[in-house]
Structure 1
Amino acid sequence: MVAGFSYDKSSNWYAEEQEGCSNWTLVLVTYGRCIYWINEKKQVLEKGQWLLIPSQVPFYGRSVPTMIHEKYVVQFSSLAAADSFPLLQQQHYTTRSTGKYELILDRLRLMHLQWQDKQPYYRTLCEALLKELFVYLHREWDEAAASKATLQLVEQMKGYVQSHYREHVTKDELGACISRSPNYAASLFRKVTGQTISEFVHATRIKTAVYMLRHSALTVSEISEFIGYNDPSYFYRVFRRLTGLVPTDLVSDRETIRK
């Protein structure tokens, strides 16, 4: 059961559990870096790294002085079918960089949204999302870390998508980007990130849309066209599927824009 959820953005964050927390703690750093001491061992976490601390394990953590960092922190007491997850049977902390960063971040964002809104059955949905997240962590854990060279190829493809997400990105283009066959590029991309090329493109577009809906003076239709959706109704459907909201939800509480 999910017991707590927070999103930290700070340069002076500090937390301490001298006797260990009664719940498990899962952390994903999304910007900058922070430091944890667990059983007196120092662990520096950077963007893309996750940390799992079992219950009753003493720890404390703090920001790196003068450096802003951002992270999601989930505390949970147990999960249905926890016996299926070896990571939840360990007595020591675990940390790793993930190649499935965007996929895991997406699940945490959805959980955070549910935790904030507190709609009926939100705890049940949060636990289901957390369980799904652990499936992805374990798949990656079981496969072991991808080689550095392989990760570099995937980062090249991600970079290409982030530069061309407003266009129709194909596996042929990504194959050419890394000098590999289209099928190899598509297979590698999915294996490492947990997302298809199309899913990653949509996620990148919607991430941009969220920012523009909150901070620009453009209309929903204009934003839809800008990020690559010529059909606003299709944009609405994709946006709702990935965020649980509709674009107008963000426009309604948009900050005042001075033209």
Structure 2
Amino acid sequence: MRLQIDNVRHDAGPVKWYEEAERESPVWTLILVGYGKCLYWVEGEKLLLEKGDLALIPDHTVFYGKTIPSISHEKYVVTFSHEDGASMLPLLGAHRYIRLRTGKYELLLSRMQSMKEQWIERHPYYQTMCQALLLETLTHMNREVDEGEHSSIKYRHTELMKTYIQNHYREKVTKEHLAAVIEKSPNHAAVLFREVTGQTISDYVNALRIKTAVYLLRHSQRAIADIADYLGYCDASYFHRVFKRETGRAPSAYVMDREPAQL
């Protein structure tokens, strides 16, 4: 299967937005909403998308979308075409749009953010990287579609575990900690977390830490070693390895983009 990306777009804030596609459009449209709400009409059917919603609209589908007055939103949009994608991913053989409230929101948001960064900054082999990230995103989406929506209790337990991690990610977080939160066994907590989020507990913690690290590298005057220690990495070299694995760049690359200190 070959994916050919046409564009990667990031819409954010209260700015008015409108787009449409005619029957002749040869590209598919993948949308992930980061926050707020936006509105589409697909083949005349109203489609309201909110935070955590994924939507995949096939090629040759008539649709238009626009902002909702007084409601800001953020979304990532990838338009692409493919050659015989349905042979590997059944959802690429769909003739009607697919909407999914993903349980893997944080994972897929990071993939869409990476796609946007690669597309804008044109790093070497950026097209290959974007194709790989898109394929991973579509694969996760197809798995969730096949599995069906998670039960309300699974989703609620996962959200409780996420909340605990978001409040303690600078500390050591184990499956025993999360098991205590949902009053289940440690192994049950670890398996459930990965099933719903698509990430291990360690991967999820590291992703939160690195997201914070990127912000601090760009918007504070802290040294790299200080940031690593603040985020719970006692070994600075390990922080560098994890950071590069998660972002594809060294921490020093973000320091170069740092905002100047206020006098």
* Normalised-by-shorter TM-score class: over 0.9
Question: What is the 5 A alignment of 1:46-195?
Answer: 46-78=50-82, 81-195=85-199
Tell me how far 1:213 sits from its aligned partner: 1.2
Instruction: State how 1:232-243 maps to structure 2 within 5 Å.
Output: 232-243=236-247
8 Å Cα contact 1:15-1:61 kept in structure 2: yes
TM-score (norm 1): 0.95
Deviations for 1:113-134, whole angstroms, at most 9, x for unmatched residues? 2212223332122112211212
User: Which stretch has the larger CA shift, 150-159 or 124-133?
Assistant: 124-133
TM-score of the aligned structures, taking structure 2 as reference length: 0.94
- 2:210 corresponds to: 206
Give the 3-state SS of the residue equivalent to 1:138 in structure 2: helix
Match in the other structure for 2:6: 3
Taking only aligned residues, the RMSD between alpha carbons, in angstroms, comes to 1.4
Instruction: Give how far 1:100 is off.
Output: 0.8
Q: CA deviation at 1:26?
A: 0.1
Superposition deviation, residue 189 in structure 1: 0.1
Amino acid at match of 1:119: H
Aligned residues of 1:27 and 1:72 also touching (Cα < 8 A): yes
The 8 Å contact of residues 79 and 127 in structure 1, kept in 2 or not, is answered as no
Whether contact under 8 Å (1:36, 1:59) holds in the other structure is yes
Q: 1:164 to 1:143 in 2, by over 3 A?
A: same
- In the TM superposition, residue 248 of structure 1 has moved relative to its aligned partner by 1.4
Once the 2 structures are TM-superposed, how far is the Cα of residue 37 of structure 1 from its aligned partner?
0.8
Answer yes or no: is 1:29 the counterpart of 2:38. no
> Do the aligned partners of residues 172 and 192 (structure 1) sit closer, same or farther apart at CA in structure 2, a change above 3 Å counting?
same
Gaps of 5+ in 2: none
Amino acid at match of 2:34: T
Q: Which letter maps to 1:75?
A: T
- Partner of 2:199: helix, strand, or coil? coil
Measured in 1, the distance between the counterparts of 2:58 and 2:84 equals 16
Per-residue displacement from partner, 1:17-68 (whole Å, max 9, x unpaired)? 2446320000000111111111111111111101100011111111121222
Q: Deviations over 1:126-146 (max 9, x none)?
A: 112211212111111111110
Summarize the Cα distance change of 1:129–1:41 in structure 2 as closer, same or farther, 3 Å threshold: same
Task: From the superposition, tell whether residues 20 and 105 of structure 1 become closer, same or farther in structure 2 (CA, over 3 Å).
Answer: farther
Alpha-carbon distance in structure 2 between the residues aligned to 1:199 and 1:166 = 13
Q: Which deviates more from structure 2 when the two are superposed, residues 121-130 or residues 193-202?
A: 121-130
Gaps of 5+ in 1: none
Instruction: Work out whether residues 22 and 60 of structure 2, in 8 Å CA contact, stay in contact via their aligned partners in 1.
Output: no
TM-superposition CA deviations, 1:97-119 (whole Å, max 9, x none): 00011111122122222212223
How far apart, in 1, do the equivalents of 2:191 and 2:49 lie?
Answer: 29
Contact 1:29-1:50 within 8 A present in 2 as well: yes
Question: Is the contact between residue 25 and residue 54 of structure 1 (CA under 8 Å) also seen in structure 2?
Answer: yes
Other structure's SS at 2:154 match? helix
Structure 1 residues 79 and 171: alpha-carbon distance in aligned structure 2, compared to 1, 3 A threshold: farther
Runs of 4+ with >6 A deviation: none
The one-letter code matched in structure 1 to 2:89 is F
Of 78-87 and 236-245, deviating more is 78-87
User: What percentage of aligned pairs have identical amino acids?
Assistant: 48
CA-to-aligned-CA distance 1:79-111 (integer Å, 9 cap, x gap): 575422111111111101000111111221222
**Following TM superposition, by how much is the alpha carbon of 1:76 offset from its aligned partner in structure 2, in angstroms?**
0.5
